[in-house]
Amino acid sequence: MENFTYHNPTKIEFGTGKEKLIGQHLLEHGIKKVLLCYGSERIKQEGLFDLVSQSLTDKGIALVELGGIVSNPVISKVREGITLARAHQVDAILSVGGGSVLDSVKAIAAGVCYDGDVWDLFVGKTGIKAALPLFAILTLAATGSEMNPGAVATNDETKEKLLISAPSLLPRVSIVNPALMQGVSRDYLVYSASDVIAHLIESYFTAAVQPKLQSRLIESLICTIIETTETLLTNPADYDARSQFAWAATLALNGLTFSGAAGFSYPNHAIEHSLSALFNVPHGAGLSVVMPAWMKWYLDRNKPQFERFATYVFGLEAPEAGIAALEDWFNKIGTPTRLSQLGVAETDLPAVVDNVQINVHAFGIANIYTPEVVTDILKRAV
């Protein structure tokens, strides 16, 4: 196992009714005025907004609203949030929504504490030295952002989708109530399953040092996602399946599965981010297209691990069979596996390949993922 530092001080409040604790948690952190960020107006129609604002009011905490954050969140909206946060001198940011809202909140929290334009932090012009405290109430389980220090946003002018990460971007408290996720659409459920599996397989297959302990934990989480997704497709109200899905999604990217692994990278994310940036496809939908294609290309580079995957996830023997089984499963649950299903034509590939070069440079894997290689991978998904 490789040397590592593990430090994840985010407090998770998991379970039904936990959103009512938000006022108390903000109070304990000395927060007096908060910028509450959300996506669609659904949280108002469904009563969550009122419940949260009541919890804040009860503790004497003022709130400023920023709604309308879209999935594949854009930096222009982040800038709007930074301006608002400064104008109202809030002392914390609260996300009520899924990964897109939370990622935007992280960018706002960092941007408020930075003098220049927030996009500088994404392109690595400077490091993140400080951020406002941030808190989350999660309404969609997928990105793991609720217990990690990362955030992704798209520059709507340049069409770059890039990542920031800093310890100060770990939420102080994240509230994960699976019951709030029952309204997630069938489509977004299966995209979420794909996203979580993508988080789990990147280090699993690419790590130069991949201890068996970590492989076992990853297989446990993948099996849980597969099983609970199937249950939820049949019965969306199954709270136990919803909760195991949600907790597996959190554990999939909170450091647990890759601490001790080394020399791994995120090629599937690097490629998918370009599909989202250029065609605004749901991240998980893009990933279920990229993953089987990438796996077929990568197979010979780590055959023993693909054999493990086939055996421990699908009970199959041949390494190729595991890849086929995953692709079949994506087809079965109804998340795309072909570029055409995303509305991306073969003639679009050069533009995608070009955009991917931005990401593979940012991820430090441009030496492997040359334009030729990325073309080779994507052609397998035509």
Q: What does the binding site for a copy of itself look like in residue numbers (CB under 8 A)?
A: 1-18, 178, 211-213, 216-217, 219-221, 223-224, 227, 240, 243-244, 247-248, 251, 256, 259-260
Are the beta carbons of 35 and 66 closer than 8 angstroms? Answer: yes
Buried b (16+ CB within 10 A) or exposed e, 158-192: eebbbbbebebbbbbbbbbbbbbbeebeeebbbbb
Query: Shortest distance, CB of residue 303 to a copy of itself, whole angstroms?
Result: 21
Query: Shortest distance, CB of residue 231 to a copy of itself, whole angstroms?
Result: 11
Query: Shortest distance, CB of residue 333 to a copy of itself, whole angstroms?
Result: 19
Query: Shortest distance, CB of residue 245 to a copy of itself, whole angstroms?
Result: 9
Distance CA 112, CA 209 (A): 38
Query: Shortest distance, CB of residue 326 to a copy of itself, whole angstroms?
Result: 18
Burial environment of residue 130 by CB neighbours within 10 A (0 to 12, 13 to 18, 19 or more): exposed
Compare residues 223 and 349 and give the one whose CB is closer to a copy of itself: 223
Distance CA 361, CA 207 (A): 18
Compare residues 194 and 224 and give the one whose CB is closer to a copy of itself: 224
Are the beta carbons of 227 and 120 closer than 8 angstroms? Answer: no
Compare residues 244 and 337 and give the one whose CB is closer to a copy of itself: 244
Compare residues 61 and 249 and give the one whose CB is closer to a copy of itself: 249
Compare residues 65 and 240 and give the one whose CB is closer to a copy of itself: 240
Query: Shortest distance, CB of residue 116 to a copy of itself, whole angstroms?
Result: 28
Distance CA 94, CA 135 (A): 5
Kind plus residue range of the DSSP H or E element containing 96:
strand 92-97
Strands 134-138 and 92-97: parallel
Distance CA 119, CA 152 (A): 11
Are the beta carbons of 268 and 201 closer than 8 angstroms? Answer: yes
Compare residues 215 and 302 and give the one whose CB is closer to a copy of itself: 215
Compare residues 55 and 71 and give the one whose CB is closer to a copy of itself: 55
Query: Shortest distance, CB of residue 214 to a copy of itself, whole angstroms?
Result: 9
